[in-house]
Amino acid sequence: MNPMAAAVFAVVLVVAIGLFARRAALIYRLIRMGKPAARFDDIPGRARAEAVVVSGGRGVGSKDGFAIIEELAGLLGAAVGCSRVVTSAGWRPHSDQVGQTGTKIAPDLYIACGISGATQHMAGCKGAKRILAINADAEAPIMQNADYAVVGDLREIVPAISAEIRKTR
Ligand SMILES: Cc1cc2nc3c(=O)[nH]c(=O)nc-3n(C[C@H](O)[C@H](O)[C@H](O)COP(=O)(O)OP(=O)(O)OC[C@H]3O[C@@H](n4cnc5c(N)ncnc54)[C@H](O)[C@@H]3O)c2cc1C
């Protein structure tokens, strides 16, 4: 696995454990499904060469809400992606849309924030080597496809991950 992706997993684990210790009301699940890696040659798309994509869905809440997604992506040297709901709302350009009617990507790590995991969205990111889902709903469909998941409010979790990454620099 790419060292950056491995570092992100480590940071997420630390953040999840830390938040869990402080807030018992939040439930964090780490899911490991051991999926085989995708063959990059089969999957066209701009993220083929990008190690990490940080993507936001309706759960981000607004155009301004993407500031925390952009911040995390910036720290990781990652691309920003989004769901169709987001492009339909005008929060991000269509060029950022991942999915059946967007771009098909195959990064080492796909971080899906506030994205439910509709089949049309998964069609665009199923080539990712690993998927980390951050979602308030433990039963969201994306949890079935995620290698790792953090259940909770992305507005709390995403900045916490960014803060932990900053501490390492
Ligand atoms: C022909 C066709 C083509 C399509 N093509 C695409 C495509 O290319 N790409 C695409 O993405 N979709 C596509 N769609 C749309 C798709 O079916 C879904 O409607 C869309 O993907 C849902 O976007 P979403 O996950 O952002 O929103 P939702 O389904 O509304 O999910 C929002 C998620 O955010 C979570 N959430 C809410 N608040 C928070 C919070 N504070 N913290 C954490 N989590 C939170 C919720 O639990 C939920 O799981 C297509 C549909 C059709 C019919």
Gap between the Cα atoms of 2 and 7, Å rounded = 9
146 C-beta closer than 6 A to ligand 1:
no
Confidence of residue 7 (pLDDT cuts 50, 70, 90): confident
In this structure, which amino acid lies at residue 142?
A: I
Contacts of 26 (CB under 8 A, 6+ apart): 19, 20, 151, 152, 153
Residue 22's φ and ψ, nearest 5 degrees, are: -85, -30
Confidence of residue 27 (pLDDT cuts 50, 70, 90): very low
In this structure, which amino acid lies at residue 57?
A: G
CB 128 within 8 A of CB 110: yes
- Residue-wise pLDDT tens digits, 50-72: 689 999 999 999 999 999 999 99
The sheet with strand 52-56 has its strands ordered as: 79-82, 52-56, 109-113, 130-135, 148-151
48 C-beta closer than 6 A to ligand 1:
no
- Residue-wise pLDDT tens digits, 32-50: 333 333 333 333 444 444 6
Kindly report which listed range (13-17, 109-113, 154-158) carries the lowest average pLDDT score.
13-17
Residue 52's φ and ψ, nearest 5 degrees, are: -135, 140
The SS3 call for residue 23 is coil
- Give the Å distance between the CA of 86 and the centre of ligand 1: 8
143 has a pLDDT exceeding 50: yes
CA-proximal residue: ligand 1, atom 37 (nearest): 59
Dihedral (Cα; 129, 135, 141, 142), 10-degree rounding = -10
% of the chain at pLDDT higher than 70: 76
pLDDT in the model for residue 17: 61
Give the mutation target among 115, 122, 151, 155 for probing the ligand 1 site: most ligand atoms within 8 A of CB.
115
100 C-beta closer than 6 A to ligand 1:
yes
Residue 40's φ and ψ, nearest 5 degrees, are: -60, -35
Gap between the Cα atoms of 61 and 140, Å rounded = 17
How far, CA to CA in Å, does 2 sit from each of 13, 37, 46, 53, 100?
17, 12, 18, 13, 26
pLDDT in the model for residue 152: 96
95 has a pLDDT exceeding 60: yes
The SS3 call for residue 8 is helix
156 C-beta closer than 6 A to ligand 1:
no
Higher pLDDT: 77 or 86? It is: 86
Q: In the numeric block, which tokens belong to residue 55?
A: 């993507």
CA-proximal residue: ligand 1, atom 50 (nearest): 120
Architecture of domain 3-167: 3-Layer(aba) Sandwich (3.40)
User: Which of 28-37, 50-59, 72-81, 86-95 reaches the highest mean pLDDT?
Assistant: 86-95
